[in-house]
Amino acid sequence: MTKIRAAITGIEVFVPDYILNNKELEKMVDTTDEWIMTRTGIKERHILKGEGKGTSDMGAEAVKALLKKKNIDPSEIDLVICATVTGDMQFPATANIISDKAGIKNAFSYDLNAACSGFIYALVTASNFISSGKYKKVIVIGSDKMSSIVDYQDRQTCVIFGDAAGAVLLEPTTEEFGIMDHAFGTDGSGRIHLHQKAGGSVKPASHATVDAREHYIYQEGQAVFKFAVTKMGDISLQVMQQNNLKPEDISYLIAHQANLRIIEAAARRTGLPMEKAIINIERYGNTTNATIPLCIWENESKFKKGDNIILTAFGGGFTWGAIWLKWAY
Ligand code: UT7
């Protein structure tokens, strides 16, 4: 039987207008543009402003733009998966709210949480629905309003994160394009280094948790850094090796944009030159589930049909993974 693969056939993003630059952060916490640039490579990040605006608003804008660009009626969409760590609410799923806002009525939808690896986990999940032969048009969204869980009194984390959303359309192909292979890993013991302390079932919200500032991101930067470097590099290499791909066969490396130094180290471990690594962290910071779609979107016109692209991510959990993608258009 002919194998059905899932190919990315379109992408759109939403980036909020408001720009929070390093100079402004210098006024908020004890930091400098020089420190932030040297340690992270980030110059500015976009922040979603406006009362009552959340992750679904950015996701819905990206989806509406995608449907328009592809000239697709919302009723044609079969499935919507949203990767996020900053859902509008604990429940229902933000994917349901996005579908509602984008006029998608014939799809089922749900969220997927694998922290910063969420978007690539969602891509593979969606690709399996397509490969089953039952689903023809699936939208995967990576959307995070990180500013809603960033403590702007904590200089270690507030300089890193930004807000954005991206949405891709996946469609079936019987040609040798699309999502070709992947490798994923998870280590739950890593949760101690990166998490949100309160607001879940273990420690529901209370006056005490708010007073203790426990509803924000808690990150032990150095510990996460060490794992991110090794895991993104090694898993990318694993995907390349299991498909006999040499560094010269790879056109682009798209790594989760958490820190420029992590991307450089990951590229080194895979034997790929930095010219092949797509970088935009300087202008967006770490937008969690939106970093990879932002990189794809910015370079869409540069990609050629058949380009071998490695997508790789590392995030809270710990979670990590890599996908071998053959660009389909
Ligand atoms: O996307 C999810 C996965 N997350 C990641 O991949 C993030 C991984 N971690 C990192 O990117 C880095 O660890 C950070 C950017 C978070 C921090 O960089 P670092 O080079 O690991 O710095 P550090 O935590 O070792 O801190 C070095 C110094 C410390 O001061 P002392 O103890 O040497 O006096 C910090 O207090 O820098 C200080 N520091 C700052 N100084 C100015 C920490 N944050 C800042 C700041 N401005 N914003």
Tens digits of per-residue pLDDT, 24-58? 999 999 999 999 999 999 999 999 999 999 999 99
Q: How far is CA 289 from CA 119, 202, 228, 303, in A?
A: 5, 24, 15, 21
- Cβ(236)–Cβ(292) below 8 Å: no
183 strand-pairing partners: 322
Which of 45, 98, 71, 83 lies closest to 290 in space, CA to CA? 83
What residues does CATH 3.40.47.10 cover in the chain? Answer: 5-176, 180-326
The residues, ordered by sequence, that sit 6+ positions from 322 with a Cβ below 8 Å of its Cβ are 120, 182, 183, 232, 235, 236, 238, 239, 310, 311, 312, 313
Q: What is the pLDDT of residue 81?
A: 98
Closest ligand 1 atom number to CA of residue 228 = 6
- pTM of the full predicted structure? 0.97
Is the link from the previous residue into 318 a cis peptide, with omega within 30 of 0? yes
Find the residues whose C-beta lies inside 6 A of ligand 1. Answer: 31, 35-36, 39-40, 116, 155-156, 159, 221-222, 224-225, 228, 258-259, 262, 286, 314-315
Q: What is the pLDDT of residue 303?
A: 98
Q: What is the pLDDT of residue 1?
A: 73
CATH fourth-level superfamily of 5-176:
Thiolase/Chalcone synthase (3.40.47.10)
- Cβ(4)–Cβ(134) below 8 Å: no
Residues of the chain with pLDDT under 50: none
Question: Ligand 1 mean position to 193 CA, how many Å?
Answer: 13
At the topology level, CATH places domain 180-326 in Peroxisomal Thiolase; Chain A, domain 1 (3.40.47)
Q: How big is the CA angle at 10 (ends 9 and 14), to the nearest 5 degrees?
A: 160
Question: Ligand 1 mean position to 87 CA, how many Å?
Answer: 26
Tell me whether strands 308-315 and 252-255 are parallel, antiparallel or unpaired: parallel
Long-range contacts of 205-213 (CB under 8 A, 24+ apart): 213/151, 213/153, 213/154
46 is catalytic: no
Q: Which of 256, 259, 289, 295 is catalytic?
A: 256
Which of 323, 276, 271, 296 lies closest to 128 in space, CA to CA? 323
Question: Ligand 1 mean position to 119 CA, how many Å?
Answer: 25
Q: What is the pLDDT of residue 304?
A: 98
